[in-house]
Amino acid sequence: PLIHVVDLDGAFDGQPANAETVKQIIYNSSVDIQVGGGIRNLKTIEAYIKAGAFRVILGTIAQKEPEFVAEACGEFPGKIIVGIDARDGNVAIKGWVEVSDQRATDLAQKLESYGVAGYIFTDISRDGMLQGPNLKSIKEFADSTERPVIASGGVSKLSDIEDLLALAPNGVEGIITGKALYDKSFTYPQTLELLNRHAG
């Protein structure tokens, strides 16, 4: 298991807004943490990694300044993943308030050569809606890259997780769930039981 932490205020502000809170989560957690939200420079990446973050997520800046991704991957090999949010296949940025004309699959292919460790792909039309993941768009994205993909958005029941586990051969190696756990649609122990069964 991995805890996915996003500084949403930071994503809107363009700089970390809750860095100390995030660091406290890292310090007090017994599992790996990946951190994103408002990360726009190497100093912030270094601070989170020194605090113990397993990986750092780059979002908006990856679309705006892809050369920064290359620089970050060079400085922190294996520690940089890119969060690509999409609506109807196009990249959404700035906390989802803007949708660009760039295809998510094209951005993934471009960044792959820079050495990113993987991607978090979110179909924002499904995130938080508890309507089930958009399996077609997730598969299309995963098929477009050789890097591992973590799927995010729309998980509302255990069968959604089963559907996403079936995309493992396509490169989907992880699944993010949040609202469904908060709403108690299913429990963390139930999820672990499902994953253990699937692992055989």
Residue 134's closest CA among 86, 180, 187?
Answer: 86
Quick check: helix, strand or coil at residue 180?
A: helix
What's the pTM value of the predicted model, to 2 decimals?
0.92
User: pLDDT by residue (tens digit) across 71-86?
Assistant: 999 999 999 999 999 9
Contacts for 57 with CB less than 8 Å, ≥ 6 apart: 6, 34, 35, 36, 37, 39, 81, 82, 83, 120
Q: What is the third-level CATH fold of 86-199? A: TIM Barrel (3.20.20)
**Helix, strand and coil in the chain, % to nearest 5:** 40, 25, 35
Residue 60 vs residue 72, higher pLDDT: 72
pLDDT, residue 158, reads: 95
Q: Mean pLDDT, the chain, as a whole number?
A: 92
pLDDT, residue 40, reads: 94
Domain ranges in the chain are 86-199
User: pLDDT by residue (tens digit) across 119-135?
Assistant: 999 988 765 555 789 99
Residue 134's closest CA among 142, 145, 125?
Answer: 125
Query: 36-45, 73-82, 87-96: which range is least confident on average?
Result: 87-96
Contacts for 78 with CB less than 8 Å, ≥ 6 apart: 117
Average pLDDT over residues 27-38: 95
